[in-house]
Amino acid sequence: MSDLHEMTALEQASAIAKGDLSPVELTEHYLARIAKGDKNLGAYLTVTGELARSQAQRAEREAVAARRDGVRLGLLHGVPVPVKDLVQVEGVRCTWGSAVFTDHVSDADDHVAVRLREAGTVMLGKTNTAEFGLPCYTENRLGPPTRHPLNAGRSPGGSSGGAAAAVAAGLAPLAHGTDAGGSVRIPASACGLVGLKPSRGRISNGPWRPDVTGLSVHGALARTAADAAALVDVMAGPMPGDVYTAPGHPGGTTLTEHAHRDPPPLRVAVLREPMVPGAVLHPDCADALEHAAATLAALGHELQELEMPPDRRVLEAFTRVWSVEAASYEVEPEHADQLMPLTVWLREIAAGVSAREYHAALATFRGLGQMLTDLLFTTYDVILSPVLAEPPVWIGELRNDVNPADEFARMTEFMPYTALYNLTGMPSITVPLSRNAGGLPIGVLLGTRYADEALLVSLAAQLHDSGRRYALQDCFRPRHQHQGPQPGGLSGQK
């Protein structure tokens, strides 16, 4: 079958459970597509063909036995799922996106790798990432940059850019990613995918690099909200030694179930203006927000504009914590010259961050989360905002190896919305609804209160399905073609 990659991940899993599709056949299909299509794309750093075939054969044996014995298989049994190269898998190369670790092979699994294997998924390989996941692009010194599947000169974003490019190009049905400031949602938006960042503690970060800051979480990139929810369901659950653990979903249900249920009418706060000083919202991204707002209004949700003025103290706190994260990787002095200039600059900042300043920065994050919980989410159910302040940029446009301080400032202006949910630990999800006049995807971002991913994926699925129908009716046009405010959009909500 030549169209296997056009099926959703859940459709593939269903076909495997029924015996209509073999995990071996599906895995070979994707390995062939990777061999042919990834040479210029750069989505994968390591392709694990031998391991994938072995896991697919095991998944096939288990599927045959399950059909014989009347046993129900897992949500994504037999479905290929690549993992981002920030995750350790025993016996597989793990570079953390850095030339320093080009030849490093992991001697143990991270918990998320264990979850994926136990769920019967097949690991195609390790997807490309920025060095240590620090920048919001996917360019490193291990090889060529990851390219946008729709425009080879553009960046797919980062740091899970390899994962996004793989899914968007049909080199994987869905993919694992990590997100500490937007690294799942940024490339998902840029590549026209759903990107789900779950609540802090939903998926174990242990055991080898537990994130004591609470910023980083494992997440999912997929073509549908239901697929993304299924991958989070598979990866979720507490593990011994976890720093954070999130409570279960209402009634013991799964996220996948909620992705197939419409939400009740919701109160939606629309956050238009960037929360980073100096950031300016591009007209294409403003149009995508208008389109999403109009769709939500048509679905019966109540919208009201919200202002959250930029606060430089939050940016300064994030910079301190981010720099300490960059410095947490142990690099021998003789290998320091292999680090990216941005990484070097951040590690230098970290050397001047005192324990008191670090504690104060983390306290700032906790205070922001408490403020949203006590004030905003007692009035509203969901926040709607752009994902990015700009459409996908050219490869190299965000990098500034000569002046990393300017690079960092440029990146914060490019991605002024996503980090809010990392600072607070709350869940958020990107929804692909629009494309600009150049054909580049422009997503929107939904966020909600802590541990309420069920509401979030329900709304995202509803918005995605309805938004695509709305777009087919040509209700969304680039700003330069606007004849006036869109009915039911932001212009009509006060």
Tell me if 480 is assigned to some domain: no
Mapped onto helix, strand or coil, the DSSP state of residue 98 is coil
Tell me if 492 is assigned to some domain: no
Domain extent, residue 34, equals: 4-474
Taking the mean position of all CA atoms in its chain, how far away is CA 344? 25
Between the CA atoms of 165, 170, 172 and 173, what dihedral angle is there, to the nearest 10 degrees?
Answer: 110
Tell me if 240 is assigned to some domain: yes
Tokens for 233, please give them. Answer: 């369901």
| pLDDT for 469 | 61
Query: Distance between CA atoms of 156 and 394, rounded to whole angstroms?
Result: 9
| pLDDT for 210 | 79
Which regions in the chain score pLDDT beneath 50? 1-2, 472-494
Number of Cβ atoms within 10 Å of the Cβ of 13: 27
Say how many domains are in the chain.
1
| pLDDT for 468 | 67
Tell me if 89 is assigned to some domain: yes
Tell me if 482 is assigned to some domain: no
Query: Distance between CA atoms of 5 and 25, rounded to whole angstroms?
Result: 12
Q: DSSP class of residue 253?
A: -
Nearest to 288, CA basis, from 486, 493, 494, 492:
486
Tokens for 315, please give them. Answer: 């940016």
Tens digit of each residue's pLDDT (9 = 90 or more) over 163-197:
999 999 999 999 999 999 999 999 999 999 999 99
Nearest to 433, CA basis, from 375, 352, 489:
489
Tokens 């769709």 belong to residue: 295
Residues marked active site are found at: 84, 159, 183
Query: Distance between CA atoms of 16 and 393, rounded to whole angstroms?
Result: 39
| pLDDT for 470 | 52
What is the pLDDT of the chain when averaged over all its residues? 94
What strands, in cross-sheet order, belong to the sheet with 83-84?
A: 44-47, 125-127, 83-84
We report the CATH number of the domain holding residue 255 as 3.90.1300.10
Tokens 């300016």 belong to residue: 280
Tell me if 277 is assigned to some domain: yes
C-alpha dist (Å) from residue 79 to 150, 161, 319, 421: 25, 21, 38, 29
Tell me if 488 is assigned to some domain: no
- Supply the pTM of this predicted model: 0.94
Tell me if 493 is assigned to some domain: no
